Amino acid sequence: MHRWSQLFIPTLREAPADAEVASHKFLVRAGFIRQLATGIYSYLFLGQRSFNKIIGIVREEMDKIGQEFYLPALHPRELWESSGRWSVMGDTMFRLKDRKGADLCLGMTEEEVMTEIARKELRSYKQLPQIWYQIQSKFRDEARPKSGLLRVRQFLMKDSYSFDIDAAGLDVSYQKHHDAYCRIFDRCGLKYVVVEAHSGAMGGSQSHEFMVRTAAGEDQVVSCEKCNYAANMDKATSKLVPVEDLAATGDGNPLEVHTPGQKTIEDVARFLGVSPKNKIKTLALMVDEKDSKTGKVVPRPVVVLLRGDHQLNEAKLSSAVGGKETRPMQAEEIERLFWSPAGFLGPIGIEWARDVRQVERPILLVDNALEGRTNLISGANKEDYHLKNVTPGRDFQPTAYADLRSVTAGESCPNCSAPLRIDTAVEIGHIFKLGYKYSESMGARVLDRNGKEVTPIMGSYGIGIERILTAAIEQSNDENGFWLPPPIAPFEIVVTPTNVGDEKVKSVAEDIAQQLDAAGFEVLLDDRDERPGVKFKDADLVGIPYRVTVGKKVTEGTVEVVRRSTREMHDASIGAITGYFQQVLRPAR
């Protein structure tokens, strides 16, 4: 049993001025955390208790599917060079030198370290599958840490890695993680959604994110009101309402129209009296490609066509160009390709690559929404002119059609056609089929059944420990503070004697706390010599789900039980308290 008067729980009446989101304000006000520097926080007593409980749950569930390791956070440069990520990670990686001048870095994830162990130690298919995990600090020099513990430079992560002999084995390891994550987040009392996620640049075959919907989040999830469809913004698709095409004019072939000074989609649509949906949006971008012979990096034009009212999704575009990054073309680059200033660009009159490998020609990517459309309006590649009657496939040949746009709220679900909603969310977990990227580049090999060398296939899986707590707070707070689900709360019950000067009140509170403690509950006795108002305010603030108030009614043998989330309050006889909490906190399963 813990006594408040002996503890360091520095609660604050006011939130620090720079705190914006609820979890940040309350974590500081409730004395869970204190900031040391931008994106770097100390965890005080209550915070650490909460994290320890979260870690306990993660560990219990992970032990059912894998084995816990503890890996170094300090890594040699050579290790990250062996996977090629020393240069890829850029400024986000913390780097330092040792006394000999050797380069080191602080770990952002641990694929390299795990794969290094696998490479050295795994020899035979008989040793597979393996699932190895750890819970450890990760370091990322984020461009912009923010929102308290939501986006920080040092944080705790449960990261695990699976090694399987083949894709079917990976499917099993992946599913085990999926199920373990569901059990973990359920036990933590979170409401979450599992969404299909963008697999990233490396062509990983499958990826899911575990998201908690909250306004404080930085990610966007698209989900269906009716069925269980849910996806990350970078992955989501929708069914579109068909658009009525314009009638052909003149002989039906592309026809120049004078559109002086009409540069934006809206301008042109208004000027010509058509909907933006009948207009082609032409985006001029560049992608850096490596020349296969010289190895030199050469910029290559990538032109993207979208329906006029649609928005480009950069992650989808990146996937479409093989995981590379794109940038907008500069004015000279636009002139060189289109012979026209921006505002009047279009696909007609340029020789586009037949497929991506035809490197001497520019790439033309056309969004699926334009496939099969006819008589669209595009720029004419001539200042102050646009073209009517533009029909994809007839008037120009795309290098490829692809899904390139972001869905918007209200569009139809791809499965059941019900309206889609878009919410901001916090990512609390991510499971990812890595494939062969690390095992291949770092040279991990095992012998299969036939004595043939094969490369094990990997998965990697992460859980943000701090984000579980912040998401829980974002989900459950009011103007007075927050309440946590009992499994992750720093204490389950706070016993609040209203007046420790009253011997009867004091001793009953003491007895109740002792009893609850003896029965195995996590109890905090607020034995401070403070006025009741102060204690109630603090009790409401710090996230403890239940309060037992011991006050005047002790003379009648009665105390009050208050449930923080609902403010529900009822009198209970002193002798019945332990039984009551047995029922609500330890129900038989």
Q: In terms of DSSP H, where are the helices of 431-531?
A: 437-441, 465-475, 503-518
For RNA, the closer of residues 146 and 361 by Cβ is 146
Q: How far is the CB of 30 from RNA (least distance, A)?
A: 9
Q: Whose Cβ is closer to RNA: residue 302's or residue 550's?
A: 550
To the nearest whole angstrom, how small is the minimum distance from the Cβ of residue 13 to RNA?
A: 4
Give the Cα-Cα-Cα angle 202, 204, 208 (nearest 5 degrees): 125
Tokens found for residue 87: 């240069």
Between 38 and 583, CB nearer to RNA: 38
- Residue number, 38 or 124, with CB nearest to RNA: 38
The dihedral built from the CA positions of residue 586, 475, 536 and 34, taken in this order, carries a sign that is positive
Q: Which of 152, 133, 134, 130 is nearest to 143 (CA)?
A: 152
Q: Minimum CB separation from RNA for residue 561, in Å?
A: 10
Classify 176 as helix, strand or coil: helix
Cβ proximity of 12 and 535 under 8 Å: no
As beta bridge partners, residue 481 has: 478
Task: Using the minimum distance from each CB to RNA, give the nearer residue, 111 or 492.
Answer: 111
Contacts of residue 5, Cβ cutoff 8 Å, sequence gap at least 6: 527, 528, 529
CB–CB of 319/205 below 8 Å? no
Q: Is the separation of the CB atoms in 586 and 493 below 8 Å?
A: no
The three-state secondary structure class of 35 is strand
The span from the CA of 133 to the CA of 379, in Å, is 54
Toward RNA, which CB reaches closer, 187 or 553? Answer: 553
Exposure of 55 in the CB half-sphere (CA atoms within 13 A):
18
User: H helices of 408-482, where?
Assistant: 437-441, 465-475
By the criterion CB under 7 A, which residues form the site for RNA? Answer: 11-18, 20, 29, 35, 37-39, 88, 92, 108-109, 142-147, 157, 200-202, 218, 314, 325, 430, 432, 460, 462, 480, 498-499, 501-502, 529, 531-534, 536-541, 549-553, 560, 562, 569
Residue with tokens 């794109």: 326
Q: Which amino acid is at 241?
A: V
| Residues 6 or more apart whose Cβ sits within 8 Å of residue 150 | 21, 23, 24, 216, 218, 426, 466, 467, 470
For the bound state, the minimum distance from the C-beta of residue 486 to RNA, rounded and expressed in Å, comes to 19
Shorter beta-carbon distance to RNA: residue 232 or 375: 232
Minimum CB–partner distance for residue 262 and RNA (Å): 26
Please say which residue, 142 or 517, places its beta carbon nearer to RNA. 142
> Quick one: which of 420, 419, 476 has its CA closest to 191?
476
Closer to RNA by CB, 144 or 589: give it. Answer: 144
Q: Where are the beta strands (DSSP E) in 27-129?
A: 33-37, 40-43, 67-68, 74-76, 95-97, 103-106
- Spatial distance between the Cα atoms of 557 and 575, rounded to a whole number of angstroms: 8
Reduced to 3 states (helix: H, G, I; strand: E, B; else coil), residue 514 is: helix
In whole angstroms, the minimum distance from the beta carbon of 412 to RNA comes to 27
Give helix then strand counts, H and E, for the chain: 14, 33
Q: Which is nearer to RNA, 153 or 386 (CB)?
A: 153
State the minimum distance, in angstroms, from the CB of residue 270 to RNA.
27
Q: At what angle do helices 577-585 and 503-518 cross, to 10 degrees?
A: 40
Number of residues that this document lists for the chain? 589
CB of 518 to RNA, least distance (A): 23
Closer CB to RNA, residue 269 or residue 442? 442
Q: How far apart are CB 347 and RNA at their closest, in Å?
A: 24
Provide the 10 A C-beta neighbour count for residue 304: 22
CB 303 within 8 A of CB 283: yes
Q: Find the shortest distance in angstroms from Cβ 283 to RNA.
A: 14
Q: 245 or 502, CB closer to RNA?
A: 502
CB of 285 to RNA, least distance (A): 11
The least distance separating RNA from the CB of residue 372, rounded to whole angstroms, comes to 31
